[in-house]
Amino acid sequence: MPTPASPRRDPAAHTRRSRAIRAVIFDLDGTLIDTAEEIALALGRTFAELGLPTLPRPDVVALIGRGMHSMVQRALRQVGDEAAAARPEPAIARFEAHYAEVVATCAEPFPGVREGLARLGAGRIPMAVVTNKARWFSERLLDRLGLGPAFVALVAGDDGLPRKPEGAMLEAACRRMGSGAAVTLMLGDSDNDVLAARRAGCPVWCVPYGYNEGRPVETLACDRLVVSVAEAARLIVAG
């Protein structure tokens, strides 16, 4: 029997779907802002106080994405302190204190973020941030880097909703922007973002430079890879 032909890409269809997007939800860490250096610094100080070995930066990057509690707990397990991992609250409190000292001191938006947000704003595309990071830290990052005014809504990890990879936070963002899930793009960098988008009914694109818990970007089952927020904005907003 002849082998079935592979489906052919339709650039025009891709363009139509891109131009049908009416709102955009962004992940924060690894998509909009490079926060890994600050997180690694705060975690290193925490573990030094606890008399534990510090993790190399690539190992810390691989822990980013599920929220602070999960990151600290998994880091404790990684250095072999199962007792502290079983009751991580003291370590989490120490990490929060250290992170509060360093947050937004060296973090920077990724290349293309400011350009992309400006283009989407000029095109009157409502935007929101959905992150598993706590609200105080998220607001501090966005405000100190001058990105906060671009967004209609911020849905954070301590807002009381089931966190990504569940879809509830994305659904909340859609409600606040007044947009339907089917025309609201999720732009992220990890499996958490892809799964949350699927569960909320949103299309999902990913950037290749993010964290994704250390896994290759090619493993992401997203609808499209874009090199930057700026490229995503050019695809969404004509002209």
| Token pair 């997203």 in the structure block, residue | 222
Query: Mean per-residue pLDDT for 171-199?
Result: 97
**In this predicted structure, what is the pLDDT of residue 67?**
82
Beta carbons of 145 and 40 less than 8 angstroms apart = no
User: pLDDT-based confidence at 213, cuts 50/70/90?
Assistant: confident
Helices within the chain (DSSP H only): 11-19, 36-49, 57-61, 68-78, 82-86, 89-102, 113-122, 135-144, 168-177, 191-200, 229-236
Q: Is residue 4 part of a domain?
A: no
Give the separation between CA 8 and CA 15, rounded to whole angstroms: 15
Q: Is residue 7 part of a domain?
A: no
Dig out the tokens for 25 from the structure.
């939800």
Query: Domain containing 79 — which CATH number?
Result: 1.10.150
Does the annotation mark 143 as catalytic? Answer: no
Domain endpoint, select from 74, 102, 130: 102
Which pTM value belongs to this model? 0.89
Of 10, 27, 81, 223, the active-site residue reads 27
Q: How many domains does the chain have?
A: 2
**In this predicted structure, what is the pLDDT of residue 6?**
34
Give the separation between CA 232 and CA 206, rounded to whole angstroms: 9
Provide the residue range defining the domain that includes 151. 12-34+108-236
- Higher-pLDDT residue of 6 and 39 is 39
